[in-house]
Amino acid sequence: MRKGLLIIFIILPALSRAEDGYDLWLRYNKISNTAILSQYKKQINSPVVFGSTQTVAIIRTELGRAFSGLTGTPFRILSSIDKASSFIAGISTSSAILSSIVTKDELIRIGKEGFIIKTRPGKTIITANTEIGVMYGVFHFLRLMQTYQPITGLSIVSAPKLKLRLLNHWDNLNRTVERGYAGFSIWDWHKLPDFIDKRYVDYARANASIGINGTVLTNVNANAVILTKPYLEKVKALADLFRPYGIKVYLTARFSAPIEIGKLRTADPINDTVQLWWQQKVKEIYELIPDFGGFLVKANSEGQPGPQDYNRTHADGANMLADAVAPFNGIVMWRAFVYSQTSNDRFKQAYEEFKPLDGKFKKNVLVQVKNGPIDFQPREPFSPLFGAMKQTPLMMEFQLTQEYLGQGTHLVFEVPMFKEVLNTDTYSKGKGSTVAKVVDGSLDNYSLNGMAGVSNIGNDINWCGHPFAQANWYSLGRLCWDHGLSSAQIADEWIRQTFSNDKSFVETVKKIMLQSHETLVNYMTPLGLTHIMYNGHHYGPMPWGNTLNRPDWNPVYYHKADSIGIGFDRTPTGTNALAQYSSEVQRQYDDIDKCPEDYLLWFHHVPWKHKMKSGRTLWDELCYKYYTGVDSIKAIQQQWNKMNKYIDPERFGHVAQLLGIQVKDAIWWRNACLLYFQTFSKMPIPAQYEKPDKTLEYYQNIRILYAPGN
């Protein structure tokens, strides 16, 4: 089988791996517009990159590959200028030409990772303070070329808005991936450190191209074995490979590691022996990996061990680890995802546990907060912690892998969801105190800041399972670099690089992507419904679920449907979770008649006959949303079916088949949910809608076995 694939690659290079999705947004296909191609060639003649490090070698290789592919002409990247050189790149001190076109103020503005691109007629200059910055500048320039943008008259001074731009892999040492829908883990721990898969190099290239500068290699449900010497040597092999690409490695620390691999009797964070054990372990790590980033920790949540096992606080646990990594400039990212049966509303627990600790964490600790208060649902209000912890830097955690968004079968562009949260005003310091300003540190003047995305990467040939899931990986990097970018701009970039620059294709597919999230919300959880997925694997609807031991593990806990109405009352007449927000935010949501309807059932138990802004009753509005969601995904399917003439048949067919599944799933969601909620509302589905062709009992008897990622 391998020999056959190799022969195809040689004979038919245009139909090789580049069009099965493996090359992501780095395809570098020849520019089809001859006028643009002619213009570009003038700006990149006899390209030179100054320097002799591994990073510079990577830049030269990338430029040679890109310029040759985009122009259809072989390019050799020089190390010194010749008379014909019109493209010059390197750190500002490497050449008088480079230093002469930048100002001291510009160099201060770009810091260690930013870059400067300036063009003159027939001349392109890319420079930075560091070679990593030059690399980012080169990738930005290549992005302009791939998307057919003008590359004359440029004066770009760009620096990332976030210091930490990370992927969080939920990968286990046995190569399974928790909530992973693209195959097994790309980390082949069994063969490391001696076998370095080429995929690791391409992974680093892809991340560097979008500015991601860190990767947490292991699952937050941590395994202490990763901290043993044999596995640290495997981690070192990856760290050494990633370093020239500007990527640091991080590990998840299992809080009970001193017991499990250190043979201690306790993991109490204030115990001197425990502290010494961690200090020695950290020293061992840094001796192998001098630029090790630090630890990500999930503690006292979903059965994970933590400081509360010893009647200590999250701050006690985080600070112990922070002290251990501080001498090496390491950091600790302590997750705020906690829940137990101690709270009367799972929505409130993270705030209840972390708000009292504000200001008590060491300066090299970030509290990593999920975008919403529950768990990566299709739509959530922002977590109250983002407006509450003014003395603690908070790091955003988004989920790229689509655990609650149709998993590997549904087309969902997540950026509109991310932007919705980032742009929301917390009012923590008056109007304009957006979540984005909390996360980037500008609101409270924190230099330590960051954003993480739970990885959707696996060993599938196209990396992410669904061809469009690649866009969410791409978008994480772009938003980390500049969260001011619009959803439309990011979608446009990705489409042009990944598929085609054809205007008709770009505009149609961009429309599909931009409406995909709202479409999914409508056919899954409209009007603020939440967490009504199947227990365990979370694939498909299960609003009737009520068999698990803990109330907050069951869907009925979240929608509270009864004969009166539906929704979770979080106003003062209910759990009063609204009190965790500023008074301005409370006023937006506390009135049932004024609450934004996208979040209505998050905050109110609403009567079935409540009149909505449309003039429909709540029940009729719920029906309208579910049916609109199904109609919208059918329309998306029809639009995609017209795109076959623009792209390769393999990726077109892959998406087309998955859209077929998505349409069926949307109908399943609509019918199952409405039939179930109808048992409480006792109201008919409006006459204009096609009635479900199956009974509620039929849907309740559906069983999904062996769902991936579970």
Banded pLDDT at 343 (limits 50, 70, 90): confident
The helix (H) or strand (E) run that includes residue 87 is strand 87-91
Q: Is position 358 annotated as part of the catalytic site? A: no
Mean pLDDT calculated for residue range 625-644: 98
Q: Which residues 6+ apart lie within 8 Å of 7 measured at CB?
A: none
Place of tokens 């517009």: 33
In order of start, what are the domains of the chain with their CATH numbers?
A: 1-26 (no CATH), 31-158 (3.30.379.10), 164-485 (3.20.20.80), 521-568+605-700 (3.90.1330.10)
pLDDT value for 435: 98
Mean pLDDT calculated for residue range 540-546: 97
The helix (H) or strand (E) run that includes residue 349 is helix 346-354
Place of tokens 């299992």: 254
Whole-angstrom distance, CA of residue 113 vs CA of residue 165: 12
Banded pLDDT at 200 (limits 50, 70, 90): very high
Is the confidence at residue 3, as pLDDT, over 60? no
- Measured between alpha carbons, how far is residue 460 from residues 341, 405, 526 in Å? 38, 19, 32
pLDDT value for 339: 82
pLDDT value for 209: 98
Banded pLDDT at 306 (limits 50, 70, 90): very high
Q: At what angle do helices 487-498 and 415-422 cross, to 10 degrees?
A: 150
Q: Which of 178, 309, 375, 552 is catalytic?
A: 375
- Tokens for 178, please give them: 């928790």
Is the confidence at residue 13, as pLDDT, over 70? no
Mean pLDDT of the chain: 95
pLDDT tens string 139-156: 999 999 999 999 999 999
Is the confidence at residue 10, as pLDDT, over 60? no
pLDDT tens string 433-442: 999 999 999 9
Is the confidence at residue 507, as pLDDT, over 50? yes
pLDDT tens string 671-690: 999 999 999 999 999 999 99
pLDDT value for 341: 67
Q: What are phi and psi of 297, to 5 degrees?
A: -130, 130
Q: Is position 302 annotated as part of the catalytic site? A: yes
Q: Which of 287, 302, 591, 690 is catalytic?
A: 302
Q: Which of 380, 403, 440, 493 is catalytic?
A: 403
Is the confidence at residue 669, as pLDDT, over 60? yes
pLDDT tens string 389-446: 999 999 999 999 999 999 999 999 999 999 999 999 999 999 999 999 999 999 999 9
Is the confidence at residue 262, as pLDDT, over 50? yes
The helix (H) or strand (E) run that includes residue 452 is strand 450-454
Is the confidence at residue 496, as pLDDT, over 90? yes
DSSP character at residue 113: T
Whole-angstrom distance, CA of residue 346 vs CA of residue 350: 8
Q: Which residues 6+ apart lie within 8 Å of 645 measured at CB?
A: none
The percent of residues above 70 in pLDDT, for the chain, comes to 97
Whole-angstrom distance, CA of residue 533 vs CA of residue 556: 10
pLDDT value for 14: 37
pLDDT tens string 453-470: 999 999 999 999 999 999
Helix locations, 525-582, DSSP H:
556-559
Of 103-107, 554-558, 706-710, give the lowest mean pLDDT range: 706-710
Whole-angstrom distance, CA of residue 204 vs CA of residue 212: 9
Q: Is position 584 annotated as part of the catalytic site? A: no
